[in-house]
Structure 1
Amino acid sequence: MNKIHDYLAETTGLSPDILAKIILSMGIILFLYLLKILMLRIVWRQTKSAKTRYQWKRSLSFIFPFLGLVLVGSVWVQAFRQFGAFLGLFSAGLAIALKEPLTNLAGWFFIVFRHPFIVGDRIQIGKHAGDVIDIRLFQFTILEIGNWVEADQSTGRIIHLPNGKVFTEPQINYSTGFNYIWNEMPIRVTFESNWEKAKSILQSIINQHAENIDRAAEREIFEASKSFMIHYTHLTPYVYTSIKEFGVQLTIRYLCNPRKRRGTENEIWQDILTQFRTHSDIQFAYPTTRFYTRGEGNTGQ
């Protein structure tokens, strides 16, 4: 073994002490890598839960690099003391050259300890929105929603975003604190329609769909108020009336789970179409053009 050590020292030109530290450092890294693989294999055999597997993999991905840094650093601590001034200048230059990675690393610390979002949350950061599916040292990953797909449903695309964006972009969290959003559905009927009856029908429909949400939302608001200044006087759904260019607009406003927005709209619209079909005095409004002919006083629409 000593002969191999001496041969490497002679071949590389490094001092025996430095070479020993390099070999020991490589041994530590290899040992930790094999230990991580072994632990993950044990977890994979013990459980089939994707969530449990992900949590173990994520935790070990943080623990082992940190442990490796501490152990390897302890090997080189004496050498660091000898080259303190050089390392000071080197680290300053390195900080300037690696500004973006260091910002992303600081962003990771902010995400982990401040918890603006966690894995599983639905968020929007800048122009990107989606469900958080992974958080790593330098980037986090979301499963995109929206874009060309309506009603906040998944597009199937995965977007990797640098952690540093938490310092430069506003973050919108659909899930943390209050797990409901206000959704609005505008319905327009003609001026000639019985809009009072239409409004009554819409109110009845939305009351049926929001029957259970109000109670759940009240409990969540109470819990969220412990951490945030959230206060709503009324949580019950309501139908608002306004006048638009070609009819009376009745706007339904109600609470819904952000992941179920399209599903609730689908059910509500089906009930509206079914109910309005049975009332001849209620007609949907839409843009029309009216033409007049001269001479005989006939009109066409």
Structure 2
Amino acid sequence: MGQWLSDLLDVELQIAADLAVSLVAIFVIFGLRLIAKGMISRRIEDSEITFRARKAVAYSTTILTIAVLSWIWIDAFENVATFLGLVSAGLAIALADVFLNLAGWAYVLLRHPFRVGDRIEIDGKSGDVIDIRVLRFSILEIGNWVDADQSTGRIIHVPNGLLFRQSMANYTLGFPYIWHEIPVLLTFESDWERGEAMLSEILQPYAMSSEEMGAEAEIKKASREYFIRYRELRPIVYTTVKDSGVMLTARFLVRAQQRRTADTDIWRQILSAIATEPHIELAYPTQRMVYSQLDLTPSGLTHEMGPDDESSS
């Protein structure tokens, strides 16, 4: 077979022999691979164990193939260093993404841009980190078609290398709270000062809870590593004027995973409070049309005639 390949490919006999042995080795190894996978599928009923076993067989046979081919072809090169150099260059080109993912994994382990349980956003996708592996990490998606920051139920697998190509936002690293704002639009005729006081009163429990949960202590802890400075951690109400009314904006601290719960709780209190206030009404985009009635009767169209009018007549 070696002589036939040598004549067919017009190469040295030794190279042709190595090529023939390589083809036989690949055929045998991958034949064993198919047999092993078939036996696993027939004898193991648990789907998870079957998946892991088939993966193990695939990885093992791939490594075995590389080792056998390396042993066959190493004599074709002048020395081991040359062989390893060529192999490394080839792998670097063919497996560039794999090496980038490995570098990303090392970056996660050494620098800790996020940990399991953190809420992050990367490449337009947001979610809670649920798993970190050698080549990828997984997040439980939030948002998308689901309103606010609720889970969609989908698991997104993100290559570790994406950390070097896309910016990443961490909702909870260093400081597990986020600032949340609730805009409340009142009509111009409403008693906005009373509305402002009402909102401040509703936000008071969040002022106490932020102290109880140790927001200030978390700020001090985070400031040791990041330049995080907040002069005011208590809830506050801002007032501004919009086209359709007076806008009151409630701003307060809340844990990243509890934003929607807090939003619902505060809106319930706002609606209940407004229902008891006769001088406060919610506004919405409106148009006001002013009509001016014109007198189109003959008497309304006549005017006093002057001397010029008489002469002209």
> TM (normalized to structure 2)?
0.68
The answer for the alignment partner of 1:169 in structure 2 is 166
Rounded to whole Å, the distance in 1 between the matches of 2:121 and 2:173 is 12
**1:88 partnered with 2:85:** yes
Q: Which runs of 5+ in 1 are unaligned?
A: 1-11, 24-56
Give 1:15-30 correspondences, 5 Å limit.
Answer: none
Deviation at 1:151, TM superposition (A): 1.8
**1:240 partnered with 2:243:** no
**1:188 partnered with 2:185:** yes
Rounded to whole Å, the distance in 2 between the matches of 1:149 and 1:257 is 19
Deviation at 1:83, TM superposition (A): 2.5
Deviation at 1:82, TM superposition (A): 5.1
Moved over 3 A (4+): 79-82, 291-297
1:23-78 alpha-carbon deviations (Å, 9 max, x no partner):
9xxxxxxxxxxxxxxxxxxxxxxxxxxxxxxxxx9xxx9xxx9xx99xx9xxx8xx
The answer for the alignment partner of 1:274 in structure 2 is 272
The answer for the alignment partner of 2:205 in structure 1 is 208
The answer for the alignment partner of 2:302 in structure 1 is none
The answer for the alignment partner of 1:178 in structure 2 is 175
What amino acid does structure 2 have at the position aligned with 1:285? A
2:104 to 104, 107, 132: 107
| Greater Cα offset, 238-247 or 131-140 | 131-140
Q: CA RMSD in A?
A: 3.2
Deviation at 1:293, TM superposition (A): 4.6
3-state DSSP class of the match of 2:193? Answer: helix
Contact 2:206 2:252 in 1 (8 A): no
Rounded to whole Å, the distance in 2 between the matches of 1:261 and 1:237 is 14
Question: Aligned in 2, Cα 1:13/1:281: closer, same or farther, shift over 3 Å?
Answer: closer
What amino acid does structure 1 have at the position aligned with 2:175? F
Contact 1:120 1:132 in 2 (8 A): yes
What amino acid does structure 2 have at the position aligned with 1:110? Y
Q: How many residues align?
A: 238
The answer for the alignment partner of 1:28 in structure 2 is none
Question: Aligned in 2, Cα 1:278/1:170: closer, same or farther, shift over 3 Å?
Answer: same
| Greater Cα offset, 168-177 or 192-201 | 168-177
Name the larger-Rg structure.
Answer: 2
Deviation at 1:134, TM superposition (A): 1.0
Rounded to whole Å, the distance in 2 between the matches of 1:289 and 1:247 is 12
Rounded to whole Å, the distance in 2 between the matches of 1:276 and 1:294 is 35
3-state DSSP class of the match of 2:208? Answer: coil
The answer for the alignment partner of 2:127 in structure 1 is 130
Question: Aligned in 2, Cα 1:237/1:82: closer, same or farther, shift over 3 Å?
Answer: same
Rounded to whole Å, the distance in 1 between the matches of 2:146 and 2:287 is 31
Question: Aligned in 2, Cα 1:115/1:149: closer, same or farther, shift over 3 Å?
Answer: same
What amino acid does structure 2 have at the position aligned with 1:86? F
Contact 1:209 1:268 in 2 (8 A): no
Contact 2:142 2:150 in 1 (8 A): yes
Deviation at 1:115, TM superposition (A): 0.5
1:141-163 alpha-carbon deviations (Å, 9 max, x no partner):
11111112222111111111111
3-state DSSP class of the match of 2:88? Answer: helix
Rounded to whole Å, the distance in 1 between the matches of 2:211 and 2:189 is 34
What amino acid does structure 2 have at the position aligned with 1:201? M
1:164-190 alpha-carbon deviations (Å, 9 max, x no partner):
111111111111110000000100101
Rounded to whole Å, the distance in 2 between the matches of 1:150 and 1:211 is 28
Identity across the alignment (%) = 48
Rounded to whole Å, the distance in 1 between the matches of 2:267 and 2:93 is 57
The answer for the alignment partner of 1:197 in structure 2 is 194
The answer for the alignment partner of 1:160 in structure 2 is 157
3-state DSSP class of the match of 1:212? Answer: helix
**1:285 partnered with 2:283:** yes
| Greater Cα offset, 150-159 or 276-285 | 150-159
3-state DSSP class of the match of 2:140? Answer: strand
Deviation at 1:13, TM superposition (A): 5.8
What amino acid does structure 2 have at the position aligned with 1:124? E
Deviation at 1:210, TM superposition (A): 3.2
